[in-house]
Chain A
Amino acid sequence: MRTLNFAKRNFKEIIRDPLSIIFSVVLPLFLLWIFQQFKIPSENYKLQNFTPGIIVFGFSFITLFTATLVSKDRTTSLLVRLGISPMTPIEYIGGYMLSIIPMLIIQIILFFILAVVLGLKFTVYTVLAVPVSIMVSVLFIALGIIIGSFASEKASSGMASVIVQLVCFTSGMYFPKEAVGKGFAKICEYLPFEPSLNIIKGVMNNKQEIITARNIAVFLVYTLLAMAVAAVIFKRKMLSDNK
């Protein structure tokens, strides 16, 4: 109940500060649209491949958005008040995560609507990709909480933009990782961004062969680790901020 209560408060704070919502939804939508206008002769830019890429790219903005929300909270005395309340770190993390989900759903649905308008074939797997994408987004929210827990409000947006860049370069959304070299391709396999993209792409296109066991393992390890680290760092920072 406390998690839901905290999520409700966070959600209200989010929707009343709409600039970042517009940014995290409108920019990826624009990119999805503009790249389809160029008719680039590459598999990466075909809608069935580029739409999952844009979804993961949109999630990197969710990281930025969450990091800002958490770091902003840390700068106010509200966390001092909450720090002596019966709320536990897990309830904080749950509250932050739940509050972002309505925005994520809107974001994902808008991406799919635009993709369908641009020519993506609408199937039952498109619908199935929505809950799967939400599951994938947990990783990005957790990364945002980690960044927001130790960085200041100004620094957190800079640090989160590193995630945005990593998604662009290592997820394979813009170019095949092999184009850069074998070493780079290997690194991409062990970072969570390509697996995140492959999971959504595999479900959306009903091509299970895209989702390898390594993809699932890498994604799960990063997500569980990120959630655990987020809880620990958030609690530690909350205590040290209050010294």
Chain B
Amino acid sequence: MLAIEASNLTKKFKQKTAVNGIDLSIEKGELFALLGTNGAGKTTTIKMLSTLIVPTAGQIKINGMDIISERQRIRQILNVSPQETAVAPNLSVKENLEFMAGVYGIADKKKKIEELINLFGLNEVLSQKAKTLSGGWQRKVSIAIALINDPEILFLDEPTLGLDVIARKELWKIIEGLKGKITVILTTHYMEEAERLSDRIGIMANGDLIATGSADQLKAKAGTDNFEDAFVKIATGGETE
């Protein structure tokens, strides 16, 4: 069953075409990574799929629901962890979780928050103001908040950007724990991250989705043993060889 089905998805900003009529299908429970160079159209695609911006053309179905006419229903079943850390800076970690639980009208708020505190190991920073947390902790809190409504679909926009290697590996463990349970769409610049975490990978360049497949399939397609080389070859059409 498909969680996301997009056809001819297009976004234009005045004269610039950010996303150029892409077709994309993502299965339920799949972890799909979207790769691309800067300005390839990854974040714009995620913003359209997550209802934040309206496509210029094309159609998106989320769990079979139309993204325009059933926007409010769709918003109940998805969540996002944006590129920059999205927390209320003067609220404590616990207050941030409570606030977002209120936004989604979570029935058993206390139980859900407790569950997330345990999953992300947030106890030691629970009463700390979000703005005083380190980058790694802020990302963890940001992803924890994104799980507050038990989303069926979760968008992670460069979740480990700027983190040190230990914080990154900790987050990978958490993301791996989500695999199979919810559909995750992840954008990243880190090839190792995409290769290790994803079931399938889509490569975008200049607004086009130019290749999709597993890391092994993409390596085979590019004729390389290394995923980073495969990405470079596909994204540039072999021009940097």
Hey, which bits of chain A sit against chain B, CB under 8 A?
Answer: 1-2, 5-6, 8-9, 12-13, 16-17, 76-78, 80-87, 239, 242-243
Interface size class of B (residues with CB under 8 A): 35 or more
Contact flag A85-B103 (CB < 8 Å), given A77-B82, A77-B85: yes
> Which residues of chain B are near A6, meaning CB under 8 Å?
102-103
- The closest CB in chain A to the CB of B81 belongs to A81
Contact flag A84-B90 (CB < 8 Å), given A1-B105, A243-B13: no
B89-120 CB mask vs A (1 if < 8 Å, else 0) is 11100010001101111000000000000000
CA distance A76 to B86 in the complex (A): 7
Q: Is the CB of A84 within 8 A of B75?
A: yes
CA distance A13 to B89 in the complex (A): 8
- B88 at the binding interface (Cβ < 8 Å): yes
Q: Is the CB of B79 within 8 A of A80?
A: no
* B159 CB, nearest partner CB in chain A, Å: 12
Contact flag A86-B76 (CB < 8 Å), given A78-B86, A80-B86, A242-B47: yes
Q: Is the CB of B88 within 8 A of A78?
A: yes
Residue among B44, B80, B95, B145 making CB contact with A84, cutoff 8 Å: B80
- B218 at the binding interface (Cβ < 8 Å): no
CA distance A58 to B90 in the complex (A): 25
CA distance A77 to B90 in the complex (A): 14
Q: Is the CB of A86 within 8 A of B84?
A: no
- B51 at the binding interface (Cβ < 8 Å): yes
User: Which parts of B134-171 form the interface with A (CB within 8 Å)?
Assistant: 145-146
Contact flag A2-B82 (CB < 8 Å), given A16-B90, A81-B145: no
